[in-house]
Amino acid sequence: MEELIRPEIKEIKDYIPGKTVPGLTKLASNENPFGPSPKALEAIKKSLASLHIYPDQKSILLREALAKKFGLKEDCFIVGNGSDDIMQIAAATYLKCGEEAVIPQNTFSVYEFVTRLLGGQPVFVALKNFEQDLDAMAKAIGPKTKIIFLCNPHNPTGTYLPAEKLNAFIKKAPKNILIVVDEAYAEFAEAHDFPGSVNLVNQNKNVLILRTFSKFYGLAGLRIGYGIGQPELIKYMFRAKLPFNVSRLAQAGAATALLDKKFEEKTYKNNLEVKQYFYAQLDKLGLEYKKSEANFVFIKLKKSADQCFMACFKKKVIIRPLTSFGLPQAIRVSIGTKEQNRRFINCL
């Protein structure tokens, strides 16, 4: 059948996931070490009673909960089977065949995937000191540019775009370009000048924010994420999604997770504390790393990331070698519990 496939499919590389082995310490996929909110789990269990009924096509209850949380209208939200579903929906809505998407190099691979899937052309812009280089990205904009993908905080380097810089970039960019800001890790950010999502959406018709329940909310196995934008931007995206893209359990669990303040505080506080501990240990070992606004730390090695991965794996700790991100001498290590990160430190 190879001669029948779309040429775009030939360009698509396999996604290399973090390895999961039961019983081992997994610090490879930035999952919440506490699991999900117990209240969310209860809501999921309750909704098992109606599992034979199709889910709500428009995730209305969850979108109401999100509207309350953010102080925006429900029409500003669209829910997906993970935030990568929203990336695909955004591309399917806006990216015409042959148009370009400007994408940071060495970043989350699904931006490139959805661009190629829709017949678009990715234009990669090198990082600068492992940060997204907005000046270079602005220069990469051409007449065919339709989407710009930004990742804030940036996966896998943990760096961030401060509000002032990001706002200036968006203001300068042509208004007929969709600017997607993937905030998968935004709930962990501590920087005082981290951009406010609500401001970004209120001030810009062409900005789409992406959020997920996979990281901070510990629901990676359930598959649910969402997009935030002005209603005019979002409404066309509903046309490009599969009717029942989000399960009943995911809708129920996510809506309840948003209400569990205690769980949110516990997760946030643990991340700050273990991150400080982790920095201190890495300093002691003299390792080069980036300060992180997320729940992982990017570490530059002087040797092969794949070898480091194997050495840790033998000691029952799974980390993420960044070879598939195009960084064969760097690793990304999730911030788990202190005990989990101690196990990683002991590997070194």
Applying CB under 8 A, among 123, 140, 240, 345 the residue interacting with a copy of itself is 240
Q: Which of residues 141-170 bind a copy of itself (CB under 8 A)?
A: 146
Cis ω on the peptide bond leading into residue 328 (within 30° of 0)? Answer: no
- The answer to the question of residue 192 lying near a copy of itself (CB under 8 A) is no
**Of residues 195 and 229, the one with the C-beta less far from a copy of itself:** 229
The residue from 27, 55, 102, 107 that contacts a copy of itself (CB under 8 A) is: 55
> Using CB under 8 A, which residues numbered 7 to 36 contact a copy of itself?
7, 9, 12, 14-15, 17-18, 20, 26, 29, 31-36
DSSP secondary structure letters along 172-214: HS-TTSEEEEE-TTGGG---TTPPPHHHHHHH-TTEEEEEESS
First vs last C-alpha separation in the chain: 47
Interhelix angle 38-47/261-284, rounded to 10 degrees, is: 130
Q: b/e map of 272-310 (b: 16 or more CB within 10 Å)?
A: eebbeebeebbeeeebebbebbbbbbbbbbeeebeebbe
**Quick check: 110 binds a copy of itself (CB under 8 A)?**
yes
**68 Cβ contact partners less than 8 Å away, ≥ 6 residues apart:** none
313 binds a copy of itself (CB under 8 A): no
Stretch that binds a copy of itself, among 127-135, 232-240, 269-277, 319-327 (CB under 8 A): 232-240
Residue of 25, 27, 47, 325 that binds a copy of itself (CB under 8 A) = 47
Nearer to a copy of itself, 2 or 284 (CB): 2
Out of 68, 73, 205, 303, name the contact with a copy of itself by CB under 8 A.
Answer: 205
Cβ neighbours of residue 217 under 8 Å, at least 6 residues apart? 32, 36, 37, 40, 187, 254, 257
Q: How far is the CB of 179 from a copy of itself (least distance, A)?
A: 12
Q: Verify binding: residue 222, a copy of itself, rule CB under 8 A.
A: yes
Q: Candidates 130-138, 185-193, 220-228, 278-286 — which segment interacts with a copy of itself by CB under 8 A?
A: 220-228
Phi, then psi, of 112 in degrees rounded to 5? -65, -40
**Distance, C-alpha 281 to centroid of its chain:** 26
- Identify the residue among 79, 228, 249, 327 touching a copy of itself (CB under 8 A): 249
Are the C-beta atoms of 145 and 193 separated by less than 8 Å?
no
Cβ proximity to a copy of itself: between 178 and 294 the closer is 178
Nearer to a copy of itself, 129 or 176 (CB): 176
Q: Which residue in the set 43, 65, 117, 180 belongs to the binding site for a copy of itself (CB under 8 A)?
A: 117
Tokens 């240990």: give the residue: 281
Residues 88-107 interacting with a copy of itself (rule: CB under 8 A) = 88, 92-97
Three-state SS across 160-183? CCCHHHHHHHHHHCCCCCEEEEEC
- How many residues are given for the chain? 348
CA distance 285 to 348: 8
**What residues from 257 to 276 belong to the interface with a copy of itself (CB under 8 A)?**
none
203 binds a copy of itself (CB under 8 A): no
| Residue with smaller CB distance to a copy of itself, 235 or 315 | 235
